[in-house]
Chain A
Amino acid sequence: MQSASTVAARAAKPGSVRRVSGFLRSQPFAFIGIAIYLLFALVAIFADQIATHDPREILFSGAYRVARYLPASATHFLGTTAGGRDVFSQLVHGTRSALTVGVTAAFFVVVLGTLFGLLSGYLGGWVDRLIMRIADVVISLPFLPFVLVISALTRPSTTTLVASVALLLWPNTARVIRSQVLSLRERGWVEAARVTGCSPTRIIFVHIAPQIAPLAALYGSIAVGWAILTEASASFLGFGDPNTISWGLMLQDAFNNQALSRGVWAWFIPPGLCIVSLVLAGFLISRGSEKLLFPKLGD
């Protein structure tokens, strides 16, 4: 049993590498999505080097004159804010919080969803009924209002946002994984593991979990986008962490300080574009991997 599976794993490796590279070529959209992720990841890592100014520093033009609403120029690529801060540098640093929020929230969505989906699907009975009942309730909660109420409960912080996104998004993943597990647990090799005396814990986490991992990853890539959008909306409404630099906060700042009526386009267009491209990247990857996971689905 053990040796057979390791041999199978070793044999599968070159094939899966070829499959992934072939997939990238046949799925240009997914390729673009991954490229966008990598680009933003690089910007986040080297934010300190890329940014031209300290994003929090109040800049002056001449004595006692705050450099507010400056147009885009060679020194300020995207101009300055009403508070005299450099927009481009804020944008670059905002990448960090966006990626952090997106990736950590997606991680917890996947962990919670997979765990509950596995338990619910494999154990059945009252565990299944309880988990699915909770999932029903969570799904019928209004998403953004709930996030706002939770943020108001605690001090506005990134942790709260990530936690509430994870708490609200796991049921979708759990449902899909549960239905997958329902079919997997009837397969011969699970039966064989049960007969040879494997404990339910071992069957769930060693035998079944690896089979549903790609599916969980797919839901994770969608959750990244949701988390980033939610963070932006919550920050825009004033429920974000005021001490971080995020795209949502930049947009709130712009909205509250007459960027629209003054027509300071360079201030509020770029943060939105960044959000769009990161979320879009998640969509593109999930569409691509859907085809890889369920080739029969076609389009």
Chain B
Amino acid sequence: MLWAIASLTFLLFRLMPGDPTLNFLSESFSEEMRLALLISFGLDKPLHEQYGLYMLSLLQGDFGVSFLQKRPVLDILLEALPNTAALTVSALVVAYAFGIIAGAYLAFARGTVVEGIAIPAALITRAAPEFWLGMILLAWLSFGLGIFPASGANTAGSEFTSEWARLTSADFLWHLVLPALTLALYLQGLPLLLMRATMLEVLNDEFIVMARMKGLSRWAIVMRHAARNALLPVATAFALGLGQSFGGNVVIETVFSWPGLGRVLVSAVQGADYPLAQGAFIMIAGVLVLMNMVADLLYAWLDPRVSVGAKR
């Protein structure tokens, strides 16, 4: 699977229009210097040789050197990765904690006014473009009320002793609130609707009837018996969501100028910086594939009725 995606990526990026060396060249460069540059990036070789080299270096964890920043691609990606990870994980945790509780409650409150308002509201947040939600929050809480910073992950000029110190600093967390909140707002609809639907399904099962006959209160049945079983698909969705958000964060990272993988990808694609764009794309795709696998395994582990081998 990863091989297929890596090959596809190679093909895609070789098809990109424009001569990448143009970024390096100025008027004073001679034709020989241009050729020397092409050779230094291995762009003079025939396509199948380039492909072989590319696969080999990918296996060694070498993503090449960025055309524009002239640094190893891997370094740039590893700098961006913690920011994206912090944003995605915190948003998902908030979204799923809220979605699970609200979804379970909505199944419990079936047929009430609350349900009539909450379901369309959840659908609306899923229909709204993430960047637009971000723009509203930005205009309201950041520019309007001035509570939160408008862009970046840290106040410019601040220094930290280590990466960990930076990620746990109050400054970073303060910058994180708005983008994470936006993402969480967008993501919570899925766990909410999923939790509600599976809860309603589980509530019809025989063991629930049994619990009811034992005279347990409705709340105890919902929370202690039904919710545990309804969590299965939600847990899988969490793993899948983690993979998808890594790529889907592109727009939110742009709105909040959040220095993550998505923004690296966007600016690299805009600047025709192939190695960097390629590396960012492969990393995003890799996380997605990995999380799909985790979701499969997680499902089989949580629900022994499903075994991985049995699925096709």
Using CB atoms and an 8 Å cutoff, list the residues of chain A in contact with chain B.
Answer: 136-137, 140-146, 148-150, 152-154, 225, 229, 232-233, 236-239, 248, 251, 254-255, 259-261, 263, 265, 268-269, 271-272, 275-277, 279-280, 283-284, 299
Q: List CB contacts (< 8 Å) of B101-140 with chain A.
A: 123-124, 126-132, 135-136, 138-139
Q: Are A140 and B292 in contact (CB under 8 A)?
A: yes
Question: Which among B124, B127, B135, B288 has the highest number of chain A CB atoms within 10 Å?
Answer: B127
B269 touches A152 (CB 8 A): yes
CB proximity of B125 to chain A, nearest CB, Å = 9
Q: Report the separation of the CA atoms of residues A61 and B180 in the bound assembly, to the nearest whole angstrom.
A: 42
What residue in chain A is nearest B287 (Cβ atoms)?
Answer: A142
- B284, A236: Cβ atoms closer than 8 Å: no
Partner among B12, B127, B142, B244 whose Cβ is within 8 Å of the Cβ of A149: B12
Q: Can you name the residue of chain B whose Cβ is closest to the Cβ of A271?
A: B132
A-facing mask of B40-64, CB < 8 A → 1, else 0? Answer: 0000000000000000000000000
Tell me if B200 counts as interface (CB < 8 A to partner A). Answer: yes
B194 at interface by CB-CB < 8 Å: no
List 21 A-B pairs, Cβ < 8 Å. A140-B5, A140-B285, A140-B288, A141-B285, A142-B281, A143-B248, A149-B281, A152-B16, A153-B15, A237-B251, A237-B254, A238-B270, A239-B269, A255-B131, A255-B255, A268-B135, A272-B129, A272-B132, A276-B124, A280-B124, A280-B127
Docked complex Cα distance between A141 and B130 (Å)? 20
B8 on the interface (CB 8 Å rule)? yes
- Decide if B297 is an interface residue (CB 8 Å cutoff): no
Q: A residues within 8 A CB of B265?
A: 145, 148
B208 within 8 A of A: no
Q: How far is the CA of A239 from the CA of B254 in the complex (A)?
A: 13
Extra contacts, 18 of them, besides A137-B1, A149-B269, A236-B251 (Cβ < 8 A), are A140-B5, A141-B8, A142-B244, A142-B247, A142-B248, A142-B288, A145-B281, A148-B269, A149-B277, A150-B12, A236-B129, A237-B251, A251-B135, A260-B142, A272-B132, A275-B127, A280-B127, A299-B200
Contact, CB under 8 Å: B250 / A237: yes
Q: How far is the CB of B4 from chain A (nearest CB, A)?
A: 5
Q: A136-B1, A148-B266 are in contact. Are A143 and B251 (CB under 8 A)?
A: no
CA distance A138 to B280 in the complex (A): 18
A297 nearest CB across to chain B (Å): 10
Within 8 Å of chain A (Cβ to Cβ): is B157? no
Q: Rank and list the top 9 A-B pairs by shortest CB-CB distance, nearest first.
A: A142-B247, A272-B132, A279-B127, A280-B127, A260-B139, A152-B269, A261-B143, A137-B4, A142-B284
Q: Which residues of B contact A149 (CB under 8 A)?
A: 12-13, 269, 277, 281
**Given that A152-B269, A276-B127 are contacting pairs, would A144 and B15 also be in contact in the complex, using a CB cutoff of 8 Å?**
no
Q: Which B residues fall within an 8 A CB radius of A?
A: 1, 4-5, 8, 12-13, 15-17, 123-124, 126-132, 135-136, 138-139, 142-144, 150, 200, 244, 246-248, 250-251, 254-255, 262, 265-266, 269-270, 272, 277, 280-281, 284-285, 288-289, 292
Asked whether, in the complex, the Cβ of B250 is within 8 Å of the Cβ of A263, the reply is no
CB-defined contacts of B130 to chain A, threshold 8 Å: 233
Which A residues touch B126, using CB under 8 A? Answer: 283
- Bound CA span A268–B131, Å: 11
Contact call B144/A263, Cβ cutoff below 8 A: yes
Tell me whether A283 and B144 are in contact (CB under 8 A).
no
Known contacts A136-B1, A144-B248: does B132 contact A251 (CB below 8 Å)? yes
Contact of B131 among A148, A233, A276 (CB under 8 A): A233
Q: Report Cα–Cα, A140/B284, bound state, in Å.
A: 10
CB B218 to nearest CB in A, in angstroms, measures 20
Residues in A with CB closer than 8 Å to B16 are 152-153
A140 and B289 form a contact (CB under 8 A): yes
Residues of A within 8 A of B284 (CB): 142, 145
* Docked-complex contact B250 and A272, CB < 8 angstroms: no
Residues of B within 8 A of A229 (CB): 127, 129
User: Once the chains are docked, how many angstroms separate the CA of A142 from the CA of B255?
Assistant: 19
Report the minimum CB–CB distance from A247 to chain B (whole Å): 9
Chain B residues, Cβ within 8 Å of A136: 1
Residues in A with CB closer than 8 Å to B246 are: 142
Minimum C-beta distance from A280 to chain B (A): 4
Bound-state Cα–Cα, A84 to B1, Å: 50
- A225 and B150 CA atoms in complex are apart in Å by 29
**Closest B residue by C-beta to A140:** B289
Nearest chain B residue, comparing its CB with the CB of A264: B139
Taking a contact as CB atoms under 8 Å apart, the answer to whether A145 and B139 are in contact is no
- A276 contacts B128, CB within 8 Å? yes
Q: Which residues of chain B come closer than 8 Å to A148, judged between CB atoms?
A: 250, 265-266, 269
A254 proximity list for chain B (CB < 8 A): 135
**Is A145 a contact partner of B250 (Cβ separation < 8 A)?**
yes
